[in-house]
Amino acid sequence: MAQTTLTRGTTVVRPAAANKRIKFAIGGVVVLVAVVYLIVNALGTTGQFFLTVSEVQAKGTSIYGRPLRVSGDIVPDSIDWNAPTLMLKFSITDGSHTMPVSFHGPKPDNMNREGSQAIVEGKLNADGVFQANTLLLKCPSRYEEMEITEVKAVQ
């Protein structure tokens, strides 16, 4: 069945097959745009990286209240664990700057190990304390270099 359209006094006849092709092309473009949007959105949220303590402090007040991911070495003497309230307070450092962290949740078992590194996700408060929603500990390397000793043969 043909479809008739009047445009400025002229009659244009379009077959039904042409209308179906136009609808199919428009539908394909809509699906393609939706897929591209989902891919870009997924890459933006999963491709997060972390900042060092020095980088956070260099940004100043512009990052207060914004979601961040920060990495640093745990300062062993700074760990304050309150088991009844599940409140964990500690500091992380990158060697040149230190930042206090507050986390409400269970304390990881290997937190007290020498050289433990943490990645914290959350927001930096105006008082300089990082309020962490997520606490991830990097697994310390189990490899230890053997000490080389010199051995002399007995004669």
86-114: b (≥16 Cβ within 10 Å) or e: eebebbbbbeeeebbbbbeeebbeebeee
Residue 137 token pair = 């500990």
The rounded distance, in Å, linking the Cα atoms of 45 and 42 is 5
Contact 136, 103 (CB under 8 A): no
The rounded distance, in Å, linking the Cα atoms of 105 and 71 is 18
One DSSP character per residue, 45-74 reads HH----EEHHHHHHHGGGGBTSEEEEEEEE
Which residues does residue 122 pair with via DSSP β-bridges, in sequence order?
Answer: 68, 132
Please name which of 77, 45, 56, 58 lies closest in space to residue 131, comparing C-alpha atoms.
56
Residue 72 token pair = 């640093």
Which pTM was predicted?
0.61
Taken in order 80, 81, 82, 86, is the CA torsion positive or negative? positive
Instruction: Say what the pLDDT of residue 74 is.
Output: 92
Return per-residue pLDDT of the chain as tens, 155 residues.
Answer: 455 555 565 656 567 777 888 888 999 999 999 999 988 887 765 555 788 999 998 988 888 988 889 999 999 889 999 999 999 999 999 989 999 999 999 888 888 777 788 999 999 999 999 999 999 888 765 555 555 544 444 54
